[in-house]
Every structure is written in structure tokens, then in C-alpha cells.
Chains A and B, each alone.
Chain A
Amino acid sequence: MTSLPSAGSVGIWTRSVLRRQPLLPVLVTLLVILAAWYDGFATVANLRNIAVQASPLTIAAVGMTYVIMTSGIDLSVGSMLFLAAAVESSSALIDQPAIGVFLAIGATGLLMGLVNGLAVAMTGVPALIVTLATMQAFRGAGGHITGQQDISLPEGLRGIGTGSLLGVPTPILLAAVTALCGGLVFSRTRFGRYVQAVGSNHGAAVDAGLPVRTVLIGAYALAGVLAAVASLTQTARLGAVQPSIGQGFELTVITAVVLGGTSLFGGRGSIGGTVLGALVLTTVQTGLVFSGSSPYVFDIVRGGVLLVAVLAAGARWRVLARTVGLTSRRRPANAGRADTAGSA
């Protein structure tokens, strides 16, 4: 016979969750306020609508979390999304069975991620520069394949964005599986621990004999594969591949990751936080439409959310620095492990 948890243990658990995911009360408060203010916001259909819209962002942001955890960055994620979509719409694939197309797109994502990962890991050139270059190259390649034209997708390729399983829309299922697997790999595998270690202190990771290059390549490859999966979801929802798909997507993805508490300096963060970041961004976007705000307000709010995310990240960093006894601006070598234990 199991005993019921005491009020004290529930309180401790709640405090622990809130400490690890400070964005959770923000999301809940946002939902409660919007539900109270606007009729129709708290309906199942609208909440499902928000979750579906957040799905491609969540999928890509999980991959970006790994990259940023290594203290890297991937500016090419929007272009990877477009190139994967372009390959999907190419004459060689568009009429093939869906499973074959999905595998080909996954392989495309892996290849793009490997290009980024190998360039970053094998040369030491800053990820910002490498992925800035590949951002151009991937978008150019996508434009070459599509001829910059709109290409409609056949019904067979739209199911991944418009179908459902047991009443749950496919994009939500994909995002949930991605987040779950991403969280498990992050917290329960050697690779996940190595990612945190490399991001926390690259030099110490090298000195400790960790396979730093392999970890970096793995993180970027994962980001590439997940960008391709996000692409499949997004294009299936749109029903077409258009030349501007993915433009500016990298900023939204990075905002979701940073908003979720992952440090841009690497070493600390969580997949759960990233999922919450994506949900907050999408909820804000939906709330703006419900509010009937001027179109100009949308940009102001988007910029404001990014600013809040960065300020919050800075505040968390200062708290953490005080916790581990640092007074300088130098980031703590073991900050990641201190902050991320079990947080995925």
C-alpha cells in the first residue's frame, strides 16, 4: 500500500520544479490571463491550435538546445528547413512514397548538420561564422532546386502536418516524441552529459579526454536532423514549399531556447525549458491575435519577449555566479552540471 505524499513533500517538489523551470508559472499565468480576457481562448480547439503551431518550433528548438549547450550557435536552421523542404518538393522525390521521402529528408538534415558540425569541430572556426556561411549556402541550394517557385505538395506528404493519431494531431505527437527523446538523451545518456560538459568548460573537457569533436559533430548533426523534421511538419501544414520558408526562423528558435533558460554561453539549460519557451512564444503570438492589437504591436512584443529572455538569462547567470562564489564575469566551469541535473 502506497502512502499519499505529504503536503510538505508536494511543496518541496513544487519548489524544485519551479526552480528548474521558472518559465512554467509564466506560461500558466499567461494562459490564465488570456483565458479570462478573451472568449474562446481556453477552448480545446484553440489550445490544440497553439500546440500544433508550436510543434515545428519545438522540434527545431530541441536540436538548437544541444548546439547552444555546447556554447555554439546554428544560424543556418531556417535555411536547413528550407533546403529540406526544397529536396522534399524536388521532382525526384515529390511523387515517391511518403516513407521514402521522409527518410530522404532525414538524411538531408543529417548531411547538413554534419557539414556544420565537421566545420565547427575540426577547425575551431566560430560556429557563428560557419553557420552564417552555410545559412547562405543552404538557402542558395534550396532556391536552385525550387527555382524560387511555389510548389504544392501532394496529399501523401501533407499527412504529417494535418493528420492525427487517436485524436492527437501528428505535429503535436512528433514534437512530444522529439522533446521526450531529446530530454532523455540529454539527461540519461553519456552523450547528453558530454554535451553539458563541453559547453561548461571546453578546455576541461579536452583535458579530461572527452571526445569533444565527436560531441560537437553529434550536436550539430542532431540539430540538422531535427530541422529537417521541423521542415516536414511545417511544409505539410502549409501544403506547399515556398521560397521564403524558414526566413528568420533561426531567431525565433534561438529566442525559444534562450527563453527556456539555456545559457548562450553553453553548459546549462534544459529541453523542458525549451519546450516551455516555444509554447510561451506561440501563446503570446496567438494572444496578440485574440487581443486585436495593431499589427505594429506584434513586432514590439516579439522584440520585448527576446529582451526579457536575455535579461532573465543574465539574471539567472548572476544568481548562479553568486551561488558558486564567483564575483567576476567569468562563467563558472561547472555551472552546467550544477544547474542541469535532472532538469531535462
Chain B
Amino acid sequence: MKSVGISRYAVAVVAASLVLAGCSSTKSSSTSPGSSAASGGSAAAHGKKLTIGVSFDLLNSIRSAEKNAIQSAADAAGYTVVFDVADQDPQKQASQIQDLIQAKKVDAVIAIAQDGQQISSSISLAKAHDVPFLTIDRAVADQQSVSFQITGDPKADGAAVAAEFINAAKTTPLKVLELVGGLTDQNAIGRRDGFNAALVGNPNVTIVSQVPTDWKPDQALDGTSNALQKDPGINAIYSPSDFLLPSVQSALTAANRLAPIGDAKHVFMVTIDGDPNGCKAMKAKTLDADIATPVADFGKQAIAAVTTATGGGKVDPQTVQAKGLTLNQANFATTSSQVWGCGS
């Protein structure tokens, strides 16, 4: 009995350790020598080398590009970066940011919020410690309390997608399957609303099916397959992220509908992000257009704002919405070099 009790205790400890290990398993930091851990305020003004804590919601293709953009801009400014990933867990992100501010005493925090509401407590904590808090890519609820925020412009990106559809519909009326991302994600909602609003009053583009994906590839695959079964006349698909593109392509392949531009079976498709999936499909001419997120701008402007904020200045403008760059078959040769996913 005693040994069972001990082993039970031991496994409970191991289990807890595993959970804790999970909390820190994706943590990494740059190893620039002589990094300072000066706290907040006007470190930059005093000539100290700044340490920036970066907290991401997750790490995927676009996040890797955003991480590289921040790292490059920070390297150019001579700053050190401490990088955390929250694995899509808002509580974990809050703990990591607390650790960055209180234990690692970073000079500024740049975050991509897993949850735009729940991150408010982390923003308050940073404010209490006089640490500038910046957010990129995803808007937060408490925008007045952040030093700087740069995001994409999801509504403008959705409208840019719609413009491609409207242009294509001049020759052939389009029956559209619209995939929707996470219904609690402002980017997903903005991309949906911008797209839908821009199509109002256009008789040649008809949305015949709206399918939620929750940003999950399996739901995108099943949803696309179901919509193609429901309406075989679908001849256009709007995917709100390149991330869902492999799923859409698989569904089209299964339905014998994946074909390049010019083929009678071709389904007109536009996505957003400009990641390597999108670029590859653009080259194969199975994708008609991709609205590329200006990832490099996120990094450059965020680091510039860190310099201003840690120097005691006010960042102006406080919030920036950067519109995506339209990459289509007409401008691919000249524009693809500016798209982050086409360079990797």
C-alpha cells in the first residue's frame, strides 16, 4: 500500500512537471552577449541595451515570419529578444508575460494575443511596472492602454479579396463558397465582413455557402467537401487564410475540381496571408490571388515604437492597421518578391 501511495504521489509530481514543462517547452531566447535587463522607463535614452520580451499565441508559418521580422529589426537596433510561445493558451500567455516583466525584467513586451480580452490583465501588469506593451497582428480590447498596436486591416483585406472576385465575375458569374475562420477571432470576422460588405449589390457574385472552420484544417476539408456536394455549381472559393489552403485543395482534388487557371474545371480562388502555401499555389496557377499580410512592417514598426516608448516618448499614431498587398496572376512576376511567403 505504501509503495502504491508513493508511486501515486510520484506520478502526480511527474504529471504536474509535464504540464509545467509544457508551459515552458517552447521558450527560447536569443543569446546576444551583454544583454541588459534594465527595467522600463527610459532605458533607450540612457544608452542601455534593451531586452524585449516577445509573447506569441502560437508558432506557425506566419508567426515564424513575424518572429523573424521582429528579430531582424531588433538585431538592427541592437536589442535582445526573449521569445515565448503560449501554445494558444491565454492563461499560459499571461503567466509567460508575468515572467517576462517580473522575473526577466524586460524593457518592453511585444505580444500577439491569444485572447484579445483576457490579455488586458497582462497589459495592466506591464503598465504597473512601467513597461511599454505593444501588440501586433491581432487587435486587443484594451487598445487605449497599449503603447502601440499594429495589425493587418482584416476588413480592407476582405474587401481586396472581394475586388478580385468582382473583377473575375465580369466574364463569368461566380457562385462562391465562403470559408470563415474562428468566430471569436476579430481577424476572421473582419475578413468575412469586409468581403461580404464589398459584394453587396453585385449581381454577378453570389455567396451560396458560408462554412465555419474554427481555423481547423479538418473542418475546412469537410466543410468544403460538403459544400461541393450541396452545390456542384460552386465555381469560386474564398479562403480567409492560406493556412486552410491545403484542406481546400484536398477537397477539390477529391471532387476532381483542382485544376489550373484556363482549365474548364478551374475553381476561382482567393486567399489571405501570402504564406508559402499560397505562393506555391500561385506559381502552380491553381490560386488566382492572395492578399499578403505585410509581416515585415509589423516587425519594423514595432521595434521603432519600442525605441520611442522606452525613450519616454509617446508613439504616434498609437494604432496602425496595415493593409495587405494584393498578389494576383497579373502582377505575380513583379510583386511576389515583396510577399513574405514567396521568399522562403
Chain A residues in the interface with B (C-beta under 8 A):
38, 40-41, 43, 45-46, 49, 53, 56, 119, 122-125, 129-130, 132-134, 136-137, 139-140, 143-144, 147-150, 152, 162, 234, 237-240, 242-245, 247-249, 282, 285-286, 289-290, 292, 294-296, 298-299
Contacts and interface: CB of A to CB of B under 8 A. Distances in A.
Given A49-B229, A296-B183, A134 B18 contact: yes
Contacts of A122: 7, 11
A136 B229 contact: no
Contacts of A295: 180, 183, 210-212
Contact of B246 (A143, A150, A285): A150
B206 interface: no
Contacts of B16: 133
B129 interface: no
A122 B16 CA distance: 17
A133 B230 contact: no
B250 A143 contact: no
B226 A239 contact: no
A243 B210 CA distance: 24
Contacts of B14: 133
Interface string B1-36: 000100110111011101101100110000000000
Nearest to B18: A133
A125 B17 CA distance: 14
A237 B250 contact: yes
In the A-B complex, list the 7 residue pairs whose CB atoms are closest, starting with the nearest.
Answer: A136-B22, A295-B212, A289-B226, A123-B11, A133-B15, A133-B18, A240-B246
A149 B247 contact: no
Contact of A294 (B18, B59, B210, B225): B210
A139 B86 CA distance: 13
A245 B217 contact: yes
A139 B87 contact: yes
Nearest to B188: A295
A281 B255 CA distance: 22
Contacts of B64: 147-149
6 contacts: A46-B229, A238-B218, A242-B217, A295-B183, A295-B211, A296-B212
Nearest to A125: B11
Contacts of B214: 248
A140 B26 contact: yes
Given A45-B229, A150-B276, 20 more contacts: A40-B230, A41-B230, A49-B225, A129-B15, A137-B18, A139-B22, A150-B243, A162-B253, A237-B250, A238-B217, A238-B247, A242-B217, A243-B60, A249-B218, A289-B223, A289-B226, A292-B209, A292-B210, A296-B183, A296-B212
